[in-house]
């Protein structure tokens, strides 16, 4: 069995690894690190959660141990598709480089340019960035890439999905031809293979698992719902999800729930919160500070249910996620593998449950074709009945429903003979309906003790009572 001490890493790096509690490298780390230390380009193909980040971070720190960074000229460059994944790489660098004097800068959107410019002006050894923000700094004249010794492209297949391949090709052209390149991807689409053939020089190809396979530690389940209309399907899926969460109960330590659209993320998070479930949304339209706080709460165990779009499918590294729910089946089959890869990490067991409606049939076929197996079917538990609040009764119905009360008796001592009303000179006008006196009882004024009103009773508008002739 290979140990980290056998990989010829810098002693300071080994010390940080031991303090982090690691002794044995994962398969991709054991195979990639020796080639990386030799200075060769590395093409790594592995499923998510296999330790790819450490497989390039550890040799990168070792190689940069000697030398000094110059202002605006980083010595190495790490490209990540999302802000969360870039932040995760930065955390790994801080963990493994804490006994060295290497510096880093994190260039991501949602953060002011001023602070990032100050870090770059001082000179950094490792520059971790998303492609868009990196090119923004370059075009503003704040950054030079001619001093890059090592370049890393992480989650290249996600870069392809997000449309970053042209930016990646441009960045490759801005770096020296003599650089060393680490290129990592979970799948090898033809477009990605073209990029690797163009910009990598005789790379060591490392494939530790069949492309786009799910970890064996993940229990997968598919629940089919018979809702065809879109609005009905969304409601039915929300009911089924709440019932599943209630059925799993204490087994759910924390869970990530994936939706395809950002608006559905917000709707589902609000619906779960209204049912007293601990849930919060995260997607690309939220402010970066909000996304960061939400992820920190989820990692710290203060948030149980994280409702996410695919922005979090690649950038969330929480080893203890117990469940993943696919509220929507993804339109790209590779995304299914990356989503459920949030659970069952580092040898732990996990459970992935997907909800499906008839409109998702084509997505299911693509997923099962990619996995080369049929997803096990499950049965949706019956949703719990929701108690509806009672509507307030109208005053008349409430009075009729109330038991009759005996009138209070007046004191006998104070009885006086009833006085007749004073005669009035002005004759009291009859109601309009009475003046038009028709034999129809509906038009007669209500008398005391009369039965319930028939039709409109006394409230018939005058215009309905006008006479008209039929020709």
Distance CA 12, CA 400 (A): 86
Kindly state the helix (H) or strand (E) to which residue 355 belongs, with its residue range: strand 350-356
Query: What number is the average pLDDT over the span 388-403?
Result: 53
3-state secondary structure of 354: strand
Instruction: Name the burial class of residue 205, with classes exposed (0-12), middle (13-18) and buried (19+) by CB atoms within 10 angstroms of its CB.
Output: middle
Question: For residue 421, what are its two tokens?
Answer: 């009303």
Tell me the pTM.
0.65
Report residue 106: phi and psi, to 5°. Answer: -115, 115
Query: What number is the average pLDDT over the span 144-159?
Result: 91
pLDDT of residue 451: 53
pLDDT tens-digit readout, 426-453: 444 444 444 444 455 445 555 554 555 5
pLDDT at position 32 over 70: yes
Distance CA 57, CA 55 (A): 6
Q: Within 13 Å, how many C-alpha atoms sit on residue 247's CB side?
A: 14
pLDDT tens-digit readout, 259-292: 998 899 999 999 999 999 999 998 878 887 888 8
Return the sign of the alpha-carbon dihedral for residues 275, 280, 283, 288: positive
What CATH number has the domain spanning 4-207?
Answer: 3.40.50.300
CB 314 within 8 A of CB 341: no
pLDDT of residue 303: 93
Alpha helices in 200-261 (DSSP H): 230-248
User: 218-378 falls under which CATH superfamily?
Assistant: P-loop containing nucleotide triphosphate hydrolases (3.40.50.300)
Distance CA 442, CA 458 (A): 8
Spatial CA neighbour of 104 closest among 143, 56, 69: 69
Distance CA 206, CA 457 (A): 88
3-state secondary structure of 454: coil
User: Residue 162 — very low, low, confident or very high, per pLDDT cuts 50/70/90?
Assistant: confident
Distance CA 360, CA 281 (A): 23
Query: What number is the average pLDDT over the span 36-59?
Result: 88
pLDDT tens-digit readout, 106-124: 998 877 888 888 888 888 9
Per mean pLDDT, which range of 57-61, 335-339, 401-405 is the poorest? 401-405
> Where are the domain boundaries for CATH 3.40.50.300 in the chain?
4-207, 218-378
């Amino acid at each position: 069995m290979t140990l980290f001490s056998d990989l010829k890493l810098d002693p300071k790096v080994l010390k940080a690894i031991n303090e982090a509690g690691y002794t044995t490298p994962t398969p991709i780390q054991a195979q990639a690190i020796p080639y990386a230390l030799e200075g060769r380009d590395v093409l790594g193909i592995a499923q998510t959660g296999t330790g790819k980040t450490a497989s390039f971070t550890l040799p990168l720190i070792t190689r940069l141990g000697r030398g000094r960074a110059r202002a605006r000229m980083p010595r190495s460059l790490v490209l990540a598709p999302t802000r969360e994944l870039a932040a995760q790489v930065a955390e790994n660098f801080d963990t493994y480089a804490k006994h060295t004097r290497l510096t880093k800068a994190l260039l991501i959107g949602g953060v002011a340019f001023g602070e990032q410019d100050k870090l770059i002006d001082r000179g950094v050894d490792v520059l971790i960035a998303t492609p868009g923000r990196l090119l923004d700094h370059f075009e503003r004249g704040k950054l030079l890439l001619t001093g890059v010794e090592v370049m890393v492209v992480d989650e290249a297949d996600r870069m392809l999905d997000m449309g970053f391949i042209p930016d990646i090709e441009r960045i490759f052209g801005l770096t020296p031809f003599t650089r060393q390149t680490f290129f990592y991807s979970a799948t090898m689409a033809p477009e990605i293979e073209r990029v690797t053939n163009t910009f990598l020089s005789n790379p060591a190809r490392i494939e530790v698992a069949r492309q786009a396979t799910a970890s064996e530690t993940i229990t997968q389940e598919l629940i089919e719902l018979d809702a065809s209309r879109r609005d009905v399907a969304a409601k039915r899926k929300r009911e089924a999800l709440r019932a599943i969460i209630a059925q799993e109960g204490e087994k759910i330590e924390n869970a990530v729930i994936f939706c395809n659209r950002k608006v559905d993320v917000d709707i589902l998070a609000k619906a779960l919160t209204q049912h007293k479930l601990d849930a919060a949304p995260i997607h690309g339209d939220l402010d970066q500070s909000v996304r960061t706080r939400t992820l920190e709460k989820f990692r710290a165990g203060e948030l149980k249910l994280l409702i996410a779009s695919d922005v979090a499918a690649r950038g969330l590294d929480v080893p203890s996620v117990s469940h993943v729910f696919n509220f929507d089946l993804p339109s790209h089959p590779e995304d299914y593998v990356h989503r459920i890869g949030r659970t069952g990490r580092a040898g732990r067991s996990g459970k992935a449950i997907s909800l499906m409606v008839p409109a998702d049939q084509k997505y299911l076929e693509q997923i099962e074709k990619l996995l080369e197996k049929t997803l096990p079917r499950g049965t949706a538990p019956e949703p719990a009945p929701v108690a509806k609040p009672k509507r307030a009764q109208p005053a008349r119905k409430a009075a009729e429903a109330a038991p009759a009360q005996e009138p209070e008796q007046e004191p006998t001592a104070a009885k006086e003979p009833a006085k007749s009303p004073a005669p009035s000179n002005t004759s009291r006008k009859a109601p309009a309906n009475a003046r038009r006196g028709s034999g129809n009882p509906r038009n007669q004024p209500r008398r005391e003790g009369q039965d319930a009103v028939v039709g409109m009773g006394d409230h018939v508008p005058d215009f309905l009572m006008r006479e008209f002739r039929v020709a």
